[in-house]
Structure 1
Amino acid sequence: MQQLRLFFIALQFFTRLPIPRWVGFEPAWLHHASRYFPAVGLVVAAIAGSVYAAAAQVLPPAVAVLLSTAASIYATGAFHEDGFADSCDGLGGGHTRERVLEIMKDSRIGAYGAIGIGVMLATKVAALASLPKLAALGALLAAHPLSRLMACSLIWRMEYARAEGKAKPLAQEMRGGEFAIAAFTAVLPASAVVAAGWLPAFSLAVGLGCMLLATVWFARKFQQRLGGYTGDCLGAVQQLTEAVFYLGVLACLWN
């Protein structure tokens, strides 16, 4: 029952979806809810995949993907997209650690953020629209949990860069066992789409490899510029790794 509560706390934190009243809330639960971040990704993937599967029956692939993307953004309240845009603004416009953090905390979006999130969304939509229908559906179901696992790896291995912050309660501790739970909930749907024949194992492996490279690159940049990560960094990693997964899968199937 406590594990179910932690899942719902993570769902409430990372999405705008309602949770049952019996769940309750204790501040200490946030410290351990990050283990279910990939499980929240599976819920978002189910929403996006359902919209795509329904829309693709009567609409062109590009329109179906756009509607699917809009559904996932609505479900999460653009939480991760906002983090990506803030990270683009901070890393692009700040020259010192203090200035980068100041820019990232600003609720206004700048040129780097606007251009970055526009290109990011266009890349995801174009990549998914270029995939066969079952492959696109499989990519959605695999990418959302796996990309959130990549974000969890920052919580597991890096220090939080701010003294205070919205994501700090989730970032205070993540043990190896908790990361193992996160990894299991991310790998399970990825394995299922391969077993169902929606994605070839090789294309999934290439997509995952692209995710790992992007995570390492972003983590090194965050460490160099900030000395750690923030909540915006988690959103940035989730968005970037989701996009490069689609690109990796597309590169395999296109060739």
Structure 2
Amino acid sequence: MSVLLRQWQLFLLALSFFSRLPVPASLPYSKERLNQSGRYICLVGWLLGALQALLLYGLLQLFSPALAVLLMLVAGLVLTGVFHEDGLADTADALGGGQQLSQKLSILKDSRIGSYGTAAFVLVMLLKWQSLHELQAQAVWAVLVVAALSRLVPVLLINSLNYQQADAVSKSKPLVSQRDSLNLGLNLLVALLPLYWLPWPLSLSLCVTLLIGFGLCRHYFKSQLGGYTGDLLGAAQQVTEVALYLIWLLVWTHS
């Protein structure tokens, strides 16, 4: 098998994990391949972000900015199967309602959504909608860049925290549960390289926000669960995405 074919298959494996986009049913699968496909997490983010950005651009030609952003966000939920948002809701329920470690892990395994999860989901979606609405034409570029950049935080968490083994039967296992320097390096390159073409105050602000978000998530997850789970990674992506939109809006407004 050629190297390029294998890498293409790994990319498709990552795509099938993070989206509802169709991939060949004959795609080879193994735990080793699943772990290796983690090198394309941010590249998948770029693809999903590009689809949403193109959709938003088209919708802005037809509808008001408020409605265009709302329809794009709905399409994004369909595109990913509410993948990261589900992790956010479950994490909010677990860390908000659980007292002991066993309680938190039990809530994470529960497919139902509670009051904490509902509140977190609604608030995050509202923050996305409002910030992108206010960004106006900048929203298209923000959606494209942030889609990949926000997915870098889960990658960093995987490479700096231990996987919570008690979560082994969770309904939301992470794509990668082993540290891999190649996975980390490729994701860093894919996510950060496009910042070179943005104005330096914006690029610097996004990088600082990314580092702060990673540091806060790492500290909080370690103190609460002693490591990460698939749901916590989804929550980290969502919170980081919102933070990056808000910082983009703040820098753009004052530039």
- TM-score category, normalised to shorter length: over 0.9
Pair 1:114 & 2:113 matched: no
| Aligned residues of 1:7 and 1:36 also touching (Cα < 8 A) | yes
* Superposition deviation, residue 248 in structure 1: 0.4
Ranges of 4+ aligned residues in structure 1 off by more than 4 Å: 166-169
* 1:181 has 2:180 as partner: no
1:74 aligned partner, one-letter code: V
> Normalization by structure 2: what TM-score?
0.92
Maintained 8 Å contact 2:56/2:72: yes
Letter in structure 2 aligned against 1:241 = T
Contact 1:211 1:242 in 2 (8 A): no
Deviation readout 1:91-111 (Å, 9 max, x if unpaired): 111111111111111111111
**Aligned amino acid, residue 160 of structure 2:** R
How many Å separate the matches in 2 of 1:24 and 1:90?
34
Question: Are positions 1:74 and 2:73 aligned together?
Answer: no
Match of 2:225 in 1: 226
Identity %: 36
Are 2:17 and 1:13 aligned? yes
Q: Normalising to structure 1: TM-score of the pair? A: 0.92
Name the counterpart of 2:206: 207
**Matching residue of 1:170:** 175
Q: Which residue of 1 aligns with 2:246?
A: 247
Distance 2:186 2:105 in 1: 31
1:144 is aligned to 147
Instruction: Point out the more displaced range, 100-109 or 227-236.
Output: 100-109
2:67 aligns to what?
63
Partner of 2:42 in structure 1?
38
Give the counterpart letter for 1:175 in structure 2. Answer: D
Q: Is the 8 A contact 2:196 2:203 kept in 1?
A: no
**CA separation of 1:20 and 1:201: change in aligned 2, threshold 3 A:** farther
RMSD of the alignment, in Å? 1.6
Q: Deviations over 1:180-223 (max 9, x none)?
A: 0111121234445x2xxxxx331232123222212211111110
- C-alpha spacing 1:31/1:21, structure 2 compared with 1 (3 Å): same
Q: Does structure 1 retain, via aligned residues, the 8 Å contact 2:163–2:227? A: yes
Greater CA deviation, 182-191 or 100-109? 182-191
Aligned partners of 2:222 and 2:242: how far apart in 1?
22
User: Where does the alignment leave 5 or more consecutive residues of structure 1 unmatched?
Assistant: 195-199
> Is the alpha carbon distance of 1:178 and 1:220 closer, same or farther for their aligned partners in structure 2, counting shifts above 3 Å?
same
**Match status 1:96 vs 2:128:** no
